[in-house]
Chain A
Amino acid sequence: MLTLETRPQWRTLLDSATLLVPDERPAIIYLETDKAPVTVTRSQFMGEVIRCAAALQTVGIGARDLVIIAHIQNLESIYGFWGALWLGAVPSMFPTLTEKLDPDHYMQSMAELTRRSEAKAVLTTDTFAPELAKRCACPVYGTSDWLPDRDEQSETTNMMLRRPKPGEIAFLQHSSGTTGLQKGVALSHQAVLNQLASYAGALELSEKDVIVSWLPLYHDMGLIAGFIQPILQGIPLVLMSPFDWVQHPALLLRAIHEYRATLCWLPNFAYNHLARRVRVRDSEGLDLSSVRAFINCSEPVRQGSHQLFLERFAANSVTANQLAVSYAMAENTFAVTQSLVGEIANTDMIDLEALQRDLRAASVAADAPHAAPQVSCGKPIANTMVKIIGDQGEVLPERSVGEVLVKSDCMLTGYYHRPDLQPFDAEGWYKTGDRGYIADGEIYIVGRSKDLIITAGKNVYPQDIEAIVYEVEGIHPGRAVVFGVPDEREGTELIAIVAEVDVTDEADRKVIYQALRQQVVRAAEVSVSFVSLVERGWLIKTSSGKTARTTNREKWLVERAEGRL
């Protein structure tokens, strides 16, 4: 296995255990509702990877070429990803077009992405390829365009012409950004290997582990923890599609029971989703005791969500010691910190008023006024450093709240084809934009950069949603505001739109109301939970004429609580 001790023996991701020892052990078990599980052995996996590599080479893909995989989450996209790696090309997983999305909007952003990043090819579904091909500067291949049937493929020799060097870019992770400007986080082979070596230590990873995941592969948690890591370490991955899991959450629990899974990464909302939306009948008799850690990651951790999960699944042998936490980001490949596996993550009781007033996380008794629990993200993993700085850039002592900076041996090389974006300061620190503090060496995250909404693990910028809202007929630009509303029940932030409208006719208002929800889903693939149509003059503007999101949110919360909205 890849550990800090064995790290010198590994050069690139092609040293992955699954590829080096292609025997009959399971590499991936793919699950779908209402279908029989598909088990892919290591040797089958290896065969498929080489088949894909040969097919990619045939369509002209070579070393260092960027290949965008905008496919549905299935085995083909997985083999395609590793096939590209095998050639020394640079694959990048990207969300596919779903029926919910506005095709025009999606294709425009794909066209922009392929143009800016000079992608060599896009791999997608047969259905979607012809339309997308009209928009993109590079070739777009549906399955049948690039991957011949098994019996039709001629030569798969002549492969492995060139091994990538450790410092070369292995793949890109696309992070979300404002107004559709997606940044490609470029990660080198050595950065990914460094991360997984350090992380294996923090997780006490062993060959007995089994990872289960429903996470999307275009998200760092799904890509690194729930995909690259198991293939690289040679431990089985039980995988399902996020679309399937969201609708049928019990699928995950059945998978844990069936395959004795030991590690599972989840964003905070998933604890609520599982606790609230798995029917009793569906969880009865399932044993979840094999799990060493459910790792809460990628949105602020709420103690209430852990509590809800514990209570709901106590009968399935879930205990507090299984509830771990990690703080992670694509720019550090993945994990920055990890709480101790096998122990409940620490909770720090702090005075919320002192936090807001003095930017100090003052420790208080649980029953003190304004006491609020902060769940620890644990200590930094090996070879990763964290510091907290104040507004003037000064390093802050423990329990002072400031911006979180990270420095490590597993950071991004840069943003792909974006020399204008410099991720590091002069000393090599990466400014995360997150706010937090350190106590007893453990990291606590208390907030994100202003206005950012994290809903169901997804980063959403309100200005992006507002831009969509302004396009809706009946809404005037500048006369709507979008903000996040923390929701205990869902364990995440929900999105609210408040828009001023002039029309008074009920039927006309309903059209606007529906259009708002629909167009946001279609353009941004996030659901709007609250829509309030208000009369002109409702929104509070700043002196410079801008809409102040925080003030308007306060007003909205008050009026909603009073039943006026």
Chain B
Amino acid sequence: MTETEVREKLRQFILTDLIKDLKYALTDDEGIVSGGLIDSFSLAEIGVFAEQEFNVYIPDPDLTKAKMNTLNLMVARVMRDLK
């Protein structure tokens, strides 16, 4: 899977399941947690999605607001361990 594919999958997931608004114009470096778009519950959900979709296990200490705040950060974290 390419980085572009990972990015699009994550973007779709965030819009559909987390922000619940497909029309929202989400940018790559926008603070999703700090901007109040998603809450702490969603961090755990990102962990589940990354495991199911990319078979990447992000350990709990990495599932934090600071480390998952933007689409760019999420993509980078997934790409790091993507096989």
Query: Chain A: residues with CB nearer than 8 A to chain B?
Result: 33-34, 100, 243, 246-251, 273, 276-281, 456, 506, 510, 513-514, 517-522, 527-531
| The residue from A276, A279, A456 contacting B57, defined by CB atoms under 8 A apart | A279
Residues of A within 8 A of B25 (CB): 506, 510
> Do A34 and B35 touch (CB < 8 A)?
no
Residues of B within 8 A of A277 (CB): 41, 44-45, 47-48
| The residue from A248, A276, A510, A513 contacting B60, defined by CB atoms under 8 A apart | A248
Residues of B within 8 A of A279 (CB): 47-48, 51, 57
| The residue from A34, A273, A281 contacting B44, defined by CB atoms under 8 A apart | A273
Q: A277-B41, A517-B36 are in contact. Are A530 and B48 (CB under 8 A)?
A: no
Bound form: Cα–Cα A435–B39 in Å: 31
Residues of B within 8 A of A251 (CB): 60
Q: A34-B61, A530-B20 are in contact. Are A248 and B44 (CB under 8 A)?
A: yes
> Do B35 and A247 touch (CB < 8 A)?
no
> Do A522 and B36 touch (CB < 8 A)?
yes
> Do B45 and A276 touch (CB < 8 A)?
yes
Residues of A within 8 A of B41 (CB): 246, 273, 277, 456, 527
Decide yes or no whether B37 CB sits under 8 A from chain A: yes
Bound form: Cα–Cα A530–B23 in Å: 12
Q: Smallest CB-CB separation from A518: which chain B residue?
A: B36
Listed A/B pairs (29) with beta-carbon separation below 8 Å: A34-B61, A100-B36, A246-B41, A247-B43, A247-B64, A248-B44, A248-B60, A248-B63, A273-B41, A276-B45, A277-B41, A277-B44, A277-B47, A277-B48, A279-B47, A456-B41, A506-B25, A510-B24, A510-B25, A514-B35, A514-B37, A517-B35, A517-B36, A517-B37, A519-B36, A521-B39, A522-B36, A527-B36, A528-B36
Report the minimum CB–CB distance from A242 to chain B (whole Å): 9
Bound form: Cα–Cα A251–B43 in Å: 14
> Do A527 and B44 touch (CB < 8 A)?
no
Taken residue by residue from 25 to 58, chain B's Cβ proximity to chain A (1 for < 8 Å, 0 otherwise) reads as 1000000000111111101110110010000010
Decide yes or no whether B81 CB sits under 8 A from chain A: no
Residues of B within 8 A of A243 (CB): 40
Decide yes or no whether B3 CB sits under 8 A from chain A: no
Report the minimum CB–CB distance from A564 to chain B (whole Å): 11
Report the minimum CB–CB distance from A504 to chain B (whole Å): 14
Residues of A within 8 A of B43 (CB): 246-247
Q: Smallest CB-CB separation from A98: which chain B residue?
A: B40
Residue of A277, A510, A522 with highest tally of chain B CB at under 10 A:
A277
> Do B45 and A527 touch (CB < 8 A)?
no
Decide yes or no whether B8 CB sits under 8 A from chain A: no
Query: Chain B: residues with CB nearer than 8 A to chain A?
Result: 20-21, 24-25, 35-41, 43-45, 47-48, 51, 57, 60-61, 63-64
Q: Smallest CB-CB separation from B45: which chain A residue?
A: A277
Report the minimum CB–CB distance from A515 to chain B (whole Å): 9
> Do A246 and B40 touch (CB < 8 A)?
yes
Q: Smallest CB-CB separation from A489: which chain B residue?
A: B17
Report the minimum CB–CB distance from B62 to chain A (whole Å): 10
Residues of B within 8 A of A33 (CB): 60-61
* Other A-B pairs beyond A250-B60, A277-B41, A281-B57, 17, CB < 8 Å: A100-B36, A246-B44, A247-B63, A248-B60, A248-B63, A276-B45, A278-B44, A279-B47, A279-B51, A281-B51, A510-B24, A517-B36, A517-B37, A527-B38, A529-B20, A530-B20, A530-B21
Residues of A within 8 A of B24 (CB): 510, 513
> Do B61 and A247 touch (CB < 8 A)?
no
> Do A514 and B36 touch (CB < 8 A)?
yes
Q: Smallest CB-CB separation from B37: which chain A residue?
A: A517
Bound form: Cα–Cα A530–B43 in Å: 18
Q: Smallest CB-CB separation from A242: which chain B residue?
A: B40
Residues of B within 8 A of A521 (CB): 36, 39
Q: Smallest CB-CB separation from B50: which chain A residue?
A: A279
Bound form: Cα–Cα A249–B45 in Å: 10
Residues of A within 8 A of B37 (CB): 514, 517
Q: Smallest CB-CB separation from B38: which chain A residue?
A: A527
Q: A273-B44, A277-B44 are in contact. Are A527 and B39 (CB under 8 A)?
A: yes
Bound form: Cα–Cα A68–B38 in Å: 30
> Do B20 and A247 touch (CB < 8 A)?
no
Bound form: Cα–Cα A243–B64 in Å: 10
Residues of B within 8 A of A506 (CB): 25
Report the minimum CB–CB distance from B46 to chain A (whole Å): 9
Bound form: Cα–Cα A521–B31 in Å: 14
Bound form: Cα–Cα A529–B41 in Å: 12
Residues of A within 8 A of B48 (CB): 276-279
Q: A276-B48, A506-B25 are in contact. Are A518 and B63 (CB under 8 A)?
A: no
Bound form: Cα–Cα A520–B48 in Å: 27
Bound form: Cα–Cα A514–B38 in Å: 11
Q: Smallest CB-CB separation from A281: which chain B residue?
A: B57
Q: Smallest CB-CB separation from B51: which chain A residue?
A: A279
Residues of B within 8 A of A518 (CB): 35-36
Bound form: Cα–Cα A281–B61 in Å: 15
Residues of A within 8 A of B35 (CB): 514, 517-518
